[in-house]
Amino acid sequence: MNYYFTELKVPKNPNYKTSAGENDGFDWDWNHAKNAGWGPSPTNTAVDLAEAMAHNPSLKVLVMNGYYDLATPFFATEYTFDHMGLEPSIKANVKQTYFEAGHMMYIYEPSAKAFKKEVGEFISSTSK
């Protein structure tokens, strides 16, 4: 947290906004070429990630899940990756991890330490 507030200079603003849509002037463009004709829909980048992984079968993905989360449903990532149509050899490049926290697992100290360890190991293993 010291790094977060002192080095990154993130303001200690007690008014946390749960959505970018709460900001004045926010105007999200919901159009997506792969969803053309379907109108506004929830953001779904899984199709783009599946395409990127198919074009680069060496691409590795680390997914970090929090058990206790009201913003992103638990098991949603498992469901998403199970329905992306990835070849088994490419799907093997996806590593799912789990933390005793919500989606901001770095604010719970034990999870923050595990988070740091997982990210470090992932970077080390994929940079060879």
Domain boundaries, the chain: 2-10+46-126
Q: 91 CB contacts (<8 Å, ≥6 apart)?
A: 81, 84
Residue 98: is its pLDDT beyond 70? yes
Instruction: Judge whether residue 2 has pLDDT over 70.
Output: yes
pTM attached to this predicted model: 0.71
Which residues lie across from 99 on neighbouring strands?
66
Question: Any idea what the Cα angle at residue 127 is, between residues 74 and 82, rounded to 5°?
Answer: 30
What is the per-residue pLDDT for 38? 58
Are 126 and 60 in contact by the 8 Å Cβ rule? The answer is: yes
pLDDT at residue 4, rounded to an integer: 79
Of residues 104 and 94, the one with the higher pLDDT is 94
